[in-house]
């Protein structure tokens, strides 16, 4: 039973639990690999978390000249392999969501890898397990489909941006206010 990360953005309360969890997660060396953005800074208080959307056809991996970014069999796009990454920062430019971070000290790109050591054993990633407001959820495709049916989508599919840069992602996001003609049904 494959599960995916699902972001229900309107639930976010900006508590930064996901950042703290990621920072303190084993193997992350006190670096967090996710972001909490202000959606409309200085206008309202809405925030949104963003880790990595784990594109099916990832621009970062395609742009990497050393093939240091690999796609795991679960679909997660892994962080740069330490022995391959040459620190050229192509991926940080290529990613349309600005996900990969660059560590100038280690000359190494690092990004969210969906906690692959946990998710390969079907344990939810650390951020999803600590999120107190159900913004980050770890759901089966069936449950995500039920979530999607709460919306009226004019184009019938969820894409992460319009006009879309990377069509399909392994992390599913609901994008209130970005998709056209949406009304939540509950």
Partner 1 sequence: MPSDKNNKIPFNEDNYTHNIERNNERKLDRRGFMKTLVGAAGVFAISSLPWGMVAAKELMGLGEKEYPHKKITDVSKLAIGDAMNFKFPGDHDDAILIRLSEKKYVAYQNACTHLRCPVFWVKEEGEMICPCHHGKFDVETGVPTAGPPRRPLPEIQVKVENGAVYAVRVKRYEV
CA distance 51 to 129: 14
Comparing CB distances to partner 1, the nearer of 67 and 134 is 67
Q: Is residue 129 within the footprint of partner 1 (CB under 8 A)? A: no
What is the size of the binding site for partner 1 (CB under 8 A)?
19
Q: Is residue 8 within the footprint of partner 1 (CB under 8 A)? A: no
| Residue selected from 16, 72, 147, 148 as contacting partner 1 according to rule CB under 8 A | 72
Residue 16 tokens, joined? 């930064």
Q: Is residue 91 within the footprint of partner 1 (CB under 8 A)? A: no
Whether the link from the prior residue into 176 is cis, omega within 30° of 0, is no
CA distance 113 to 135: 19
Q: Is residue 113 within the footprint of partner 1 (CB under 8 A)? A: no
The DSSP secondary structure of 33-49, one letter per residue, reads: --EEEESSTTT---EEE
Comparing CB distances to partner 1, the nearer of 57 and 150 is 57
| Residue selected from 23, 70, 129, 161 as contacting partner 1 according to rule CB under 8 A | 70
CA distance 112 to 60: 12
Q: Is residue 64 within the footprint of partner 1 (CB under 8 A)? A: yes
Comparing CB distances to partner 1, the nearer of 67 and 140 is 67
Interacting stretch for partner 1, rule CB under 8 A, among 8-16, 38-46, 139-147, 162-170?
162-170
CA distance 60 to 64: 6
Q: Is residue 62 within the footprint of partner 1 (CB under 8 A)? A: yes
Bridge partners (DSSP) of residue 102 are: 109
Q: Strand 3-8's sheet: what is its strand order? A: 136-140, 3-8, 172-174
Q: Which residues bind partner 1 (CB under 8 A)?
A: 57-58, 61-62, 64, 67, 69-73, 78, 83, 163-168
């Amino acid at each position: 039973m494959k599960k995916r990360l699902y972001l229900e953005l309107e639930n976010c309360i900006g508590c930064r639990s996901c950042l703290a969890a990621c920072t303190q997660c084993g193997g992350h060396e006190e670096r967090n690999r996710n972001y909490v953005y202000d959606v409309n800074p200085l206008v309202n208080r809405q925030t949104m978390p963003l880790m990595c959307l784990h594109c099916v056809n990832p621009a970062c991996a395609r742009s990497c000249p050393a093939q240091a970014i690999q796609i795991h069999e679960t679909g997660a796009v892994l962080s740069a392999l330490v022995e391959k990454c040459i620190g050229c920062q192509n991926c940080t430019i290529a990613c349309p969501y600005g996900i990969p971070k660059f560590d100038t000290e280690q000359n190494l790109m690092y990004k969210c890898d969906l906690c692959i050591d946990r998710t390969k054993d079907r344990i939810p990633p650390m951020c999803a397990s600590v999120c107190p407001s159900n913004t980050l959820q770890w759901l089966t495709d069936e449950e995500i489909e039920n979530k999607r049916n709460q919306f009226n989508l004019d184009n019938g599919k969820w894409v992460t941006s319009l006009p879309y840069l990377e069509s399909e992602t392994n992390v599913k996001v609901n994008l209130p206010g970005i998709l056209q003609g949406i009304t939540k049904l509950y």
